[in-house]
């Protein structure tokens, strides 16, 4: 009877304790209730990709014109690699003209009309012009089909696992008739993937923000100027420019299937955040739901410096190297290591150094020899956009001074002393065992 009562007590305790443990992997241990009225949403730190809030972040949904972020990325990449130039002249095709006279955002390109790559990029980013977007896609890849294949390849390369592009514009393929690209399905992209794409656009091509933060752009068609207004009404100078300070991108989108979408980025006090909302009910709501996300992020988090540039990390001042005149090299941080933390939690973060394995002389001054990351001892269980972006949030450790390779004689005697030392250590250990 006593054993039975003991067993009941144990099972009761287990029943009480088990609910306190979570065997899932939540985005955050304490997910705030922001009442985001959207099908999906995400808020991330634009340094490390740390997710500060998420709501259904991995469901593939129609992205509409947020698709153009990938087109913009590939335009920037083509310029950076020297494949095209900003002042290259692009001639509008029949397909571009078809989009220029149809439904959706456009600048009304005529067949044979010519504009530079830069002009068309402004039309795409500020005015969300579908005709300008297709003109750019055809100029870079020869056809929209080829360009969309490039988009999907780049999506895989960037780690966008819940994305498929069917057009360069986000325009529904089913509405394009004979101009529809030879790509299966329709375009979908998750909120996480939109944030990954935004992260890379900002980090890989920071000059892209010059396009995205432009409130108004004059698009010249012959002698006729056409004033384009940014569909991102949160850019300073537009109707919702005062909702949140520091908004300088990125891209809106709307179709009947997608609802109203918006990938935003803003910077305050040196801290940049990226937010995404998909499937909101109205044009106005995509901005007000974005405001909820950004207000939460800037209100609850801050950017702090865990370690200063050109200083060593306490406890990790040096690291061993092989075959050098010196046996160790001094390690310092290349640049100040900054981390986004919940306000009041700075003391819960400790910088730690991770050194490259098998470092060997010669070592040059400022050579990368590892990186700085951190240990967090708080209660939150943060997820990240992906591991690659998380790693890029770390800071390089570099050698403070040069270490030359040791000569053959020095290495010979070092090895002899090492062997002798090992023998004496063995003798000492043997004597210890006797007692």
Rounded Cα distance, 151 and 161, in Å: 13
Q: What are phi and psi of 192, to 5 degrees?
A: -60, -45
Q: The tokens 């969309």 sit on which residue?
A: 148
68 part of the active site: yes
128 part of the active site: yes
Rounded Cα distance, 374 and 1, in Å: 53
Catalytic one of 39, 50, 68, 251: 68
User: 203 Cβ partners below 8 Å, 6+ apart?
Assistant: 46, 392
User: 242 Cβ partners below 8 Å, 6+ apart?
Assistant: 236
Dihedral sign for Cα 383, 384, 386, 390, please: negative
At 227 the three-state DSSP class reads: strand
User: 200 Cβ partners below 8 Å, 6+ apart?
Assistant: 73, 158
65 part of the active site: yes
User: 166 Cβ partners below 8 Å, 6+ apart?
Assistant: 148, 173, 181, 183, 184, 185, 186, 187
Determine whether 380 is exposed, middle or buried from the number of CB atoms within 10 Å of its CB (0-12, 13-18, 19+): middle
Q: The tokens 């709307």 sit on which residue?
A: 254
Ordered alpha helix ranges (H), 18-143:
68-80, 94-101, 117-125, 130-141
61 contacts 278 by C-beta, under 8 angstroms: yes
Catalytic one of 93, 128, 187, 190: 128
At 173 the three-state DSSP class reads: helix
Catalytic one of 40, 65, 93, 275: 65
Q: Which residues are catalytically annotated?
A: 65, 68, 128
């Amino acid at each position: 009877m006593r054993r039975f009562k003991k067993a009941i007590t144990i099972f009761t305790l287990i029943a009480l304790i088990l609910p306190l443990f979570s065997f899932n992997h939540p985005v955050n241990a304490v997910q705030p209730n922001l009442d985001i009225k959207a099908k999906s949403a995400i808020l991330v730190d634009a340094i490390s990709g740390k997710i500060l809030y998420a709501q259904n972040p991995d469901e593939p949904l129609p992205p509409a014109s947020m698709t153009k972020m990938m087109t913009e990325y590939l335009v920037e990449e083509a310029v950076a690699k020297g494949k095209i130039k900003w002042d290259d002249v692009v001639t509008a095709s029949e397909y571009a003209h078809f989009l220029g006279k149809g439904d959706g955002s456009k600048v009304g390109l005529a067949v044979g009309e010519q504009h530079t790559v830069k002009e068309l990029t402004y039309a795409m980013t500020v005015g969300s012009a579908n005709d300008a977007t297709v003109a750019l896609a055809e100029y870079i890849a020869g056809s929209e089909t080829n360009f969309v294949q490039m988009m999907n390849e780049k999506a895989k390369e960037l780690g966008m696992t819940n994305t498929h592009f069917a057009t360069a514009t986000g325009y529904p393929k089913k509405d394009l008739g004979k101009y529809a690209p030879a790509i299966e399905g329709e375009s979908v992209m998750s909120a996480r993937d939109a944030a990954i794409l935004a992260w890379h656009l900002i980090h890989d091509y920071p000059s892209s923000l010059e396009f995205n933060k432009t409130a108004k752009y004059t698009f010249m068609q012959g002698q006729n100027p056409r004033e384009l207004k940014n569909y991102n009404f949160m850019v300073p100078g537009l109707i919702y420019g005062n909702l949140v300070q520091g908004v300088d991108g990125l891209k809106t989108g709307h179709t009947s299937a997608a609802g109203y979408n918006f990938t935003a980025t803003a910077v305050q006090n040196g801290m940049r955040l990226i937010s995404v909302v998909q499937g909101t009910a109205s044009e106005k709501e995509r901005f007000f739901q974005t405001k909820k996300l950004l207000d939460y992020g800037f209100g609850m988090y801050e950017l702090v410096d865990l370690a200063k540039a050109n200083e060593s990390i306490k406890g990790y001042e040096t690291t061993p190297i092989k075959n050098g005149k010196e046996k160790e090299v001094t390690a310092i941080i290349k640049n100040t290591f900054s981390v986004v933390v919940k306000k009041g939690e700075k003391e819960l973060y400790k910088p730690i150094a991770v050194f490259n394995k098998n470092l060997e002389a010669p070592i040059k001054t400022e050579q990368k020899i590892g990186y700085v990351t951190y240990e967090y001892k708080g209660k939150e269980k943060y997820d990240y956009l992906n591991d690659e972006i998380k790693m890029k949030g770390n800071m390089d450790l570099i050698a403070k001074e040069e270490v030359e390779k040791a000569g053959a004689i020095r290495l010979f005697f070092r090895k002899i002393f090492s062997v002798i030392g090992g023998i004496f250590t063995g003798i000492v250990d043997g004597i210890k065992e006797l007692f």
